[in-house]
Every structure is written in C-alpha cells, then in structure tokens.
Amino acid sequence: MTALKNFVQRHPRLTAWIVLAIGMVAILVWSARDVGLLPGQWAALIVATIAVAGLCVWIIGWEDEEEESHQEQVRE
C-alpha cells in the first residue's frame, strides 16, 4: 500500500489518467454492450477512449502549470 501511495504522489497526472481511463472505458463498455460491435471496433473505441482520457488530464494540467508559473512570478 505504501508503494501505491508513493507512486500516486510521484505521478499524479499518470494516476489521474489511469483512473479516468478505467472509468471512461467502463462507461463505454456498459453503454455499448448491446450494440453488436466487432472486436476490432471495440479495440478502436477503447484505445480512443484512453487517448481522450489522457488529453483531458493533460488539458486540466494546463491550469496547474499556469498557477505554478504565476506563483513563481509573484515570488520574484
């Protein structure tokens, strides 16, 4: 458990990406379970969903970077 906590503290964005991707893929699978997609279609949708989760975390991280740079400017 300590190793997991250390990983989360060292890699917060990667952790957010993993958690968000798992949730989004779960929602995707639940929503599209009766659609009759082929395995290749499922794979493409899952890969695209994971990529979108990564983009979301990256975009949300822009605000953190702006706040950090603003705080550094205020300190100077």
pLDDT tens for each residue of 47-74: 999 999 999 999 998 887 766 666 666 6
Give the total number of structural domains in the chain: 1
Map residue 37 onto helix, strand or coil. coil
68: buried, middle or exposed (CB in 10 Å: 19+, 13-18, 0-12)?
Answer: exposed
Q: What is the mean pLDDT of the chain?
A: 90
Residue pair 28/49 in contact (Cβ under 8 Å)? The answer is yes
Average pLDDT over residues 15-43: 96
Average pLDDT over residues 33-50: 96
Which domain does 48 fall in, by range?
2-75
Map residue 38 onto helix, strand or coil. coil
The confidence score (pLDDT) of residue 71 equals 67
